[in-house]
Amino acid sequence: MPARLSLSPSILHQRLMRELDLPLAYRRGEVKAWQKKLRPKVSELVGMGAFAGKRAALKPRVLWRREHELGRIEKLAFVAEPHCDAVAYVCTPRAVKPPYPWFVCLQGHSTGMHNSIAVERDDETKPIEVAGDRDFGLGCLRRGIAALCLEQRAFGLRREQAQKKISQHGCHDATMHALMLGRTLIGERVFDVDRGLDYLETRGDVDWNKVGVMGNSGGGTISVFAAALLPRLRFCMPSCYFCTFKDSIMSIYHCMDNYVPGLLQYAEMADVMGLFAPKPVVVVAGKTDGIFPVKAVRKAFADLKRIYKAAGAEDHCHLAVGPEGHRFYADLAWPKMLKELR
């Protein structure tokens, strides 16, 4: 009998992962010195060099404005980069006076940012029910926090609409095109967050000591990488993404926009999130999440906690695990974040 053949590509890839030594992963020692080594590599692999020195005029314009029982909501457009506009909802709370704490809010694979304020995408006058606590903008307003609910590239209103034929998930086309151009979609989305922060710089109602980023699923992805790479962010609340690369995107089917070419040669996800230390982070996960297994989330969190402990900030690193699956858990996560904000 011939030996059993190893024909599945994943057999080799899983073996290669077991053999990785992750030369830029945190081992021990001074955290700031380690961060200075890893952060430039993450920035390089994500493709942030494509945006160096390229800050087009924002040209912000309000598309509509309305009063809400929780505050004021405006729909905003601004230039992310030439020939690429961004849209967002700007939500300011009625219950508190400026300057406000602010969160950049990011939806994942869904119909878009409209979920953040619980309205229909194509008719924003019609309210909808939003499952899984994904009404991030309203959630911020209820807690006296202002929100910039940013539409991510390839989602919602920024989905592909010009190309004649596209994949089922618009992120596929955008990801592949970015790679061919020496970019990544993750890098482009992080840059959009950075441009959103540029917009906040034009306002006079921002408490820059209390500016954070949050999001679920694909929004959690960008929350992690934005926190790692953008120094103006002071708080981070990624939901249903933080895990180990090995046990999530490298072992279970995921959309293409979760991948950064070459990153796993250097470090794991806990190391990427560890670039945010010692600033406060609340990691959110679901007990039965089928694509980011909670056992691996806990392992990655233990590694992250070790980095925070070495940075003297162990008490600023939190984990909230909800009883269900792939969703946000507002009642578990926000109390931890509000304590940090106070």
Could you say which DSSP state residue 231 is in?
A: T
289 phi/psi in degrees, rounded to 5: -60, 120
Q: Residue 2: pLDDT above 70?
A: no
Pair 63, 76: CB distance under 8 Å: yes
Could you say which DSSP state residue 156 is in?
A: G
Looking at residues 98-105, what average pLDDT do you find?
98
Could you tell me the CA-to-CA distances from 162 to 20, 155, 238, 256, 279 in Å, in that order? Answer: 41, 14, 31, 20, 40
Question: pLDDT at position 293, please?
Answer: 98
The pLDDT-based confidence of 164 (bands split at 50, 70, 90) is confident
Question: pLDDT at position 53, please?
Answer: 83
Could you tell me the CA-to-CA distances from 92 to 84, 140, 144, 221, 255 in Å, in that order? Answer: 26, 9, 8, 25, 33
Looking at residues 73-79, what average pLDDT do you find?
98
Looking at residues 96-115, what average pLDDT do you find?
97
Could you say which DSSP state residue 5 is in?
A: P
Distance CA 231, CA 249 (A): 26
Looking at residues 5-29, what average pLDDT do you find?
95
Contacts of 333 (CB under 8 A, 6+ apart): 237, 239, 282, 284, 320
Locate 42 and state its tokens: 């993450």
Q: Which domains does the chain have, with CATH numbers?
A: 25-341 (3.40.50.1820)
Could you tell me the CA-to-CA distances from 218 to 54, 189, 266, 326 in Å, in that order? Answer: 25, 10, 22, 11
Q: What is the pLDDT of residues 113-162, one digit of tens each?
A: 999 999 999 999 999 999 999 999 999 999 999 999 999 999 999 999 88
Q: What is the pLDDT of residues 256-299, one digit of tens each?
A: 999 999 999 999 999 999 999 999 999 999 999 999 999 999 99
Which ranges in 167-293 belong to alpha helices (H)? 170-180, 185-201, 218-229, 269-274
